[in-house]
Amino acid sequence: MTAELAKQLVILSGKGGTGKTSLTAGFAYESARGDLPMRTVLVDADVDAANLGLVLEAEPVEQHEFWGGSLAEIDETLCTGCAMCEPVCRYDAIFPHKEILGVLWVDPIACDGCAACVYACPEEAIEMVPQQEGFWYRSQTPYGEFLHAELFPGKENSGKLVTLVKQQGRLAADDRAAQLVVIDGPPGIGCPVISACAGTDLGLMVTEPGQAGLHDLQRILGTLRHFKIETVLVINKADLYPEGTAAVKQFAEKEGLVVIGEIPFDENIPKAMLAGKPVSLLYPESAAAKAIQQIWLKTVAKMMQPEGSYE
């Protein structure tokens, strides 16, 4: 008998700050202590602004270095200043050395790590040096195991790090025979988002009423559909701007997109965030917590249906 693989749920939004992390924290609470508990592993895939741990009371039990790409470095004792490296660099990263006359220097902030200069240098004075670009962590939380990471400021390869924490989440889920992996995604639609949504079973999009929210929803929906990922929609702060909510619903209907729930504009959400706890734990009777509970029930029902029975 083969063990059933955990289903993967990714929470995305396009636009930042629409409430992905607050909703994920609510799901963490529901998965452990709600009316419909699930063995769940939590993953924070927003590695350059990793905030989920701040509301899960995460206690790291393991810390690992993340080595991303390599950057070019010029050995100043070998460089003759011939500047053959300069024209091959498309990232404007090669400059005269600040202290040594007649020697060149690679700006690590501008370097893309392509190594074109390495091959262009007749003196073999340039070397690719691997870079540590962050850490990833395995943590314990009151709601279960939690995988997260921290990309050092300004680094590339956030997509690679997202893939890595997701893989670790998957392994943790296998170890514990978890039923579900919940992934808090990054904003936008580019490389880290594509990494976050790859291989997931459901993309839950969180939008807020308003032109910007709707505009970015269209972009994230298009992205998820391109990768053939099933989607559902949550409207956060739904009562803030009813005309905007109506416009989102109209869009959803036109696109055949299921609105799985609405969360009202509720000051308990920022209050819970300040306290560093899920709103569902701190204010279980609040309108937001109740809405999140309903969304959890519907999301789980959708994901746990037998294969092929939903479309």
Partner 1 sequence: MKIAVASGKGGTGKTTVATNLALSLKDRYPVNLMDCDVEAPNAHLFLHPVLTRQYKASIRIPEIDPQRCTLCGKCVEVCQFHALAKVGKTIMVFPQLCHGCGSCTWNCPEDAITEVPNPIGIMEEGATVGGIAFSQGKLTLSEPMATPIIRQLKKLEDQAGDVIRIYDAPPGASCSVVETLRGVDFVVLVSEPTPFGLHDLKQMLGILQDLNLPFGVVINRDGIGYDRLDQYLTDHKIPVLLHIPFERAIARGIAAGKTLNEIDPRYQEQFLSLFDQIEKIFQTEREAL
Which residues would be at the binding site for partner 1 (CB under 8 A)? 14-18, 21, 46, 48-51, 54-55, 69-70, 88, 90-91, 109-110, 112-116, 119-120, 128, 151-156, 158-159, 186-194, 208-213, 215-216, 219, 222-223, 226-227, 237, 240-241, 243-244, 265, 270-271, 273-274, 276
CB of 306 to partner 1, least distance (A): 30
CB of 212 or CB of 287, closer to partner 1: 212
Min separation Cβ 177 and partner 1, Å = 32
Query: Between 6 and 214, whose beta carbon lies closer to partner 1?
Result: 214
- 6 vs 273, which CB is nearer to partner 1? 273
The number of helix segments (H) and strand segments (E) in the chain equals 10, 11
Minimum distance, C-beta of residue 244 to partner 1, in the bound complex (Å): 5
| In the complex, minimum distance from the CB of residue 108 to partner 1, in angstroms, rounded to a whole number | 9
DSSP letter assigned to residue 55: G
- Backbone phi and psi for residue 309, each to the nearest 5 degrees, phi listed first: -90, -10
Nearer to partner 1, 96 or 222 (CB): 222
* Least spacing, CB of residue 16 vs partner 1, in Å: 1
Alpha-carbon gap, residue 45 to 49, rounded angstroms: 9
What does residue 86 show for φ and ψ, rounded to 5 degrees?
Answer: -60, -50
Residue nearer to partner 1 on the CB measure, 39 or 271: 271
Q: What are the residues whose beta carbons fall under 8 Å from the beta carbon of 170, sequence distance 6 or more?
A: 6, 8, 181
Three state DSSP letters for 154-188: CCCCHHHHHHHHHHHHHHHHHHCCCCEEEEECCCC
